[in-house]
């Protein structure tokens, strides 16, 4: 794992945006997996400011709450529209998020997995990391699902995400998420971590021991992972 330590959130966001920009310059028709959450907001701001041609790029988001309406201001569809889609020249037909409105969640997941394959697979997957070590909504468990699936959120994740909702009871308890194999099949992975509250999990990750109770530890089996984090999230090896 390559590790890039930045002074602060601003620099982490800048470096992450430059990383994505390089990917698109090298391959204009890149297929890129994208995260939501507070960590990547700065990266999306920078990406929107840089002069990047997204016209051939395809994006697949990691996950979405289930069920949730697209126009709910806490849906990841809403988030992506606000933070990226409305600000760059991505084509509507080239952006994908598992649908929180699907009647049949199972079918939606199978279809999502198929779509990623049809588009040639992920060239780059950008990830945040949960305080509990989740990537996407692959939550700590004694086993991890390989492909896109419906999952129940842990109490820890519901607590962490309740800051975005009016009250804790409003946080959906389920989500649709890419699986561990979906993520690991990406050619390149960019992992972002910022702030003190990520220090413990980044430190666990860097021990290079695989533990399904810390899903992000599977990344140590991937041959091309770059971690960009700020000093607050980095405790050292
Ligand atoms: P955060 O979430 O960026 O809001 O900390 C990260 C995650 O849960 O993957």
CA 43 to CA 169: how far, in whole Å?
30
DSSP 8-state secondary structure symbol assigned to residue 135: B
Q: How far is the CA of 140 from the centre of ligand 1 (A)?
A: 15
Q: Are 52 and 6 in contact (CB under 8 A)?
A: no
Q: Which of 13, 33, 37 to mutate to test the pocket of ligand 1 (most atoms within 8 A of CB)?
A: 37
Residues 170-214 pLDDT 10s: 999 999 999 999 999 999 999 999 999 999 999 999 999 999 999
Per 3-state DSSP, what percentage of the chain is helix, strand, and coil (rounded to 5)? 40, 20, 40
100 lines ligand 1 (CB under 6 A): no
129 lines ligand 1 (CB under 6 A): yes
Q: How far is the CA of 183 from the centre of ligand 1 (A)?
A: 16
pLDDT-above-70 percentage for the chain: 99
The mean per-residue pLDDT over the stretch 14-28 comes to 98
| Strand positions, DSSP E, the chain | 2-6, 31-34, 58-61, 63-66, 95-96, 124-127, 149-152, 174-177, 188-193, 225-230
Question: What is the pLDDT of the chain when averaged over all its residues?
Answer: 97
> Considering the domain 2-234, what is its CATH architecture?
3-Layer(aba) Sandwich (3.40)
pTM value? 0.97
Pick from 192, 163, 198, 161: nearest CA to 64: 161
212 lines ligand 1 (CB under 6 A): no
Please calculate the CA angle 149-155-159 and round it to the nearest 5 degrees: 110
Q: What residue's CA is closest to ligand 1, atom 2? A: 37
Residues 23-42 pLDDT 10s: 999 999 999 999 999 999 99
CA of 40, closest atom in ligand 1: 3
Q: How far is CA 90 from CA 54, 72, 162, in A?
A: 5, 22, 30
CA of 128, closest atom in ligand 1: 9
pLDDT for the residue numbered 129: 98
- Non-local (6+) Cβ contacts of 103 within 8 A are none
Q: How far is the CA of 128 from the centre of ligand 1 (A)?
A: 5
CA of 134, closest atom in ligand 1: 9
CA 121 to chain centre: 16
Q: How far is CA 196 from CA 82, 135, 181, in A?
A: 27, 18, 29
The mean per-residue pLDDT over the stretch 227-233 comes to 97
Q: How far is the CA of 207 from the centre of ligand 1 (A)?
A: 21
């Amino acid at each position: 794992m390559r590790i890039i330590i930045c002074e602060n959130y601003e620099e982490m966001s800048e470096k992450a945006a430059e990383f994505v920009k390089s990917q698109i310059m090298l391959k204009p028709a890149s297929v890129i997996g994208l995260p939501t959450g507070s960590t990547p907001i700065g990266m999306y701001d920078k990406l929107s400011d840089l002069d990047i041609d997204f016209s051939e790029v395809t994006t697949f988001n990691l996950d979405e709450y289930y069920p949730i309406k697209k126009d709910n201001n806490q849906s990841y569809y809403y988030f992506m529209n606000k933070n990226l889609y409305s600000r760059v020249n991505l084509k509507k037909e080239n952006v994908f998020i598992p649908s929180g409105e699907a009647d049949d969640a199972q079918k939606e997941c199978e279809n999502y997995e198929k779509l990623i394959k049809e588009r040639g697979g992920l060239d780059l997957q950008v990830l945040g990391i949960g305080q509990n070590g989740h990537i996407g909504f692959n939550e700590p468990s004694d086993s991890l699902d390989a492909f896109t699936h419906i999952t129940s959120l842990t109490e820890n994740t519901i607590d962490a995400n309740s800051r975005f909702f009016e009250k804790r009871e409003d946080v959906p308890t389920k989500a649709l998420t890419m699986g561990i194999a979906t993520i690991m099949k990406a050619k390149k992975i960019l992992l972002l971590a910022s702030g003190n509250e990520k220090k413990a999990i980044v430190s666990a990750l860097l021990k290079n021991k695989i533990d399904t109770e810390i899903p992000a530890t599977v990344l140590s089996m991937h041959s091309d992972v770059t971690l960009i984090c700020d000093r607050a999230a980095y405790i050292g090896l």
